[in-house]
Structure 1
Amino acid sequence: MSVAFTIAKWLYPLPDCPPKRSKEMKVICLGLPRSGTESLHKALLRLGYNRISHGFEWHIDNMKSSVLYWELATLRSQGRTPDPETLRTKYFDRILADYEATTDVPVAWFAEEVMAAYPEAQVVLNRRRDVKAWKVSFANSVLPLMQSWQYWIWSWFNAETYWGMGLTYWMHGQRLFGNDFEANAERAYVEHYERLEGILQREGRPYLEWSVEEGWEPLCNFLDRPVPPEPFPNGNVASEFGPKLMVTDKERFRRARSNAAMTASALVAVLGMAYWQRTRS
């Protein structure tokens, strides 16, 4: 592992993930954000799956997993992606220890790896049919977070924000969009699904290509679950995205400001001592 990663773990420590899995991984949904992921999250809960991974849930309650995600991303970038058994036992069984299903990021960033780790899990490729509408939705929700000076500045003074934003910049900004959302977003979206469909078809692995507009029936048929009587759940609209995250991030920003003040005070003290020593010599 790189020296930079080792230093970051020391500067920005987070609690360890659980040592092993406590529940079977049953369903992995690998659509990108703004592809009905929160509606799907609610639907899977309604169908009886116990604890579902989602970007909001990761950001609010499971940020400790970010260090393992970062380590896995580093290995991938070095061409050293672990074998399926290691992916499962060392990474995803700990990252997703008590989850029965996944949606959204960070898991969708590691779609190939999580499919290899759980070959028996059912795969759903949730997507928007209208790629331009997806791009607009992403631009009005996730992109402002990625471009926010607040998140960038305070990420240097809070461990959870550091790892969370670091992963988002790397996996969304650099790996998916090539640091140019406007030019590359639509192509990247299409290629994400084409790549995964190619892998699934080569492996002969059943999967469901699905969108929210199709509702309960195809999803329940694929998962072998009874169709609920109520309408399919609604997810968050783009305008709700930022305010929902800020419920948690306000407290992180408060701690970051406190850490920044202590860092500045320590720096002033060191510089003052150095100046005093210099004037005496």
Structure 2
Amino acid sequence: MEHPKSGADGDGLLVIHVALYRMATRSFAEAYRILGYKTHHGTEDLLGNPWVGIEQAVEATWPDIPHARPRPRFTRQDWDALWGDEYDIVTDLACPFSDQLIAAYPKAKIIVVQRDFESWWASYQAGVLDHIFPRRQWLTVWLIRNVLRSRAADAMIKVNYGLFNATNMAGIKDNARKTYDEYYRNIRERIPAERRLEYTMGDGWEPLCAFLGKKVPDLPFPRLNDSAYRKRSQQAGEMVVFLTSAKKLARLALAIGAVSMAFWHMSI
């Protein structure tokens, strides 16, 4: 069972989960919770994520990406404010900042998860890029940005520009393989083998629990990334955006109607 996070000890993040988006991060989030860690997984609460802080972290990391505002590099205090004061582990949204988080939390254990490039890239394009660049999801992106006033779409677009050293979708695709290779090579060159676990998807609980010093749970390792589950999650996320937008627009329409009626009464 997940325990409440206490900032009194000042430990911050206890585990750095090193994996790119679309590498079973949802399954790992559930696994970490079963082991008792307070875990943040971004796609579970699209509108509730700290998007402003994430966007600032991106701009501080990659100041030359399109539409970035100059910001100082994030410090341990900044990372604590974003995640470390409340969570033990961040699965997906922390992936662009793995090297900074490893430096900020030197006592944290490091778990590296990697799937082969070809299957990952196909999943990444369908599961990430097609949902944040407006070509296919233009209405959802427009509602998030203009009705809900959320920085979710803008933050994720900037994440991808920075992560892939690109300024458009074509650049992201051109740099995909290089980004993938460099991401994992940099981590392995920096972090000694004894400080990290190289986890292969399908290994189950045993290597993870041995590395973290946890008892092996008496239940199967979570598997929440099959295509049917992803489709249901995507539809649920879009429905949240549409319903929240509809409620906000309805309130706005009522307010405009009330003001219009007041002016009409004043004019007669």
TM-score scaled by structure 1?
0.71
The equivalent of 1:32 in structure 2 is 20
Matched position secondary structure for 2:21? coil
- Post-superposition shift, 1:241? 2.8
Structure 2: where are the runs of 5+ without partners? 1-5, 64-69, 257-268
Name which of 61, 84, 102 aligns with 1:76. 61
Matched residues in 2 for 1:258 and 1:46: separation?
Answer: 35
Residue type at the aligned position of 1:68:
G
Which of 226, 229, 233 matches 2:218?
A: 229
AA at the equivalent of 2:104: A
Q: Hey, what does 2:262 align to over in structure 1? A: none
For residues 216 and 259 of structure 1, do their structure 2 counterparts lie closer, same or farther at Cα, with a shift above 3 Å needed? closer
Q: Which residue number in structure 1 is paired with residue 121 of structure 2?
A: 135
- RMSD, matched Cα: 3.1
Moved more, 117-126 or 169-178: 169-178
The residue type paired with residue 159 of structure 2 is M
Sort the Cα spacing of 1:259 and 1:231 in 2 relative to 1 into closer, same or farther, 3 A: closer
1:175 Cα offset (Å): 3.1
Instruction: Tell me the distance in 1 between the aligned counterparts of 2:127 and 2:76.
Output: 32
How far 1:211 moved relative to its partner?
2.0
Query: Equivalent residue of 1:125, what SS?
Result: strand
Structure 1, unaligned runs of 5 or more: 1-19, 267-281
AA aligned opposite 2:160: H
Bigger helix fraction: 1
1:239 to partner: Cα distance: 4.6
User: Deviation at 1:119?
Assistant: 1.0
Q: What TM-score, normalized to structure 2?
A: 0.74
Q: CA deviation at 1:145?
A: 0.9
Q: How many equivalent pairs are there?
A: 236
Displacement of 1:158:
3.5
Deviations 1:137-195 (A, max 9, x none): 223322321231123321332446x3111111111255326333443323322221112
Distance 1:116 1:158, change over 3 A: farther
Q: Give the letter aligned to residue 89 of structure 1.
A: Q
Indicate whether 1:44 and 2:35 are aligned.
no
Contact kept, 8 Å, 2:147 with 2:249, in 1: the verdict is no
Identity %: 23
Task: Show the counterpart of 2:178.
Answer: 187
Cα offset, 1:246, TM superposition: 3.9
From 35, 52, 60, the counterpart of 1:67 = 52
The answer on 1:54 being equivalent to 2:45 is no
**Structure 1 residues 114-133: aligned runs within 5 Å:** 114-128=101-115, 130-133=116-119
Q: Which secondary structure state, in structure 2, belongs to the residue aligned with residue 59 of structure 1?
A: coil
Q: Aligned equivalents of 2:95 and 2:16: distance in 1?
A: 9
Corresponding position: 1:207 with 2:202: no
Deviates more, 1:168-177 or 1:130-139: 168-177
| Residues 97-116 of structure 1: pairs in structure 2 closer than 5 A | 97-104=85-92, 106-116=93-103
Q: Partner of 1:240 in structure 2?
A: 229
Specify the alignment match of 1:277 in structure 2: none
The residue that corresponds to 1:9 in the other structure is none
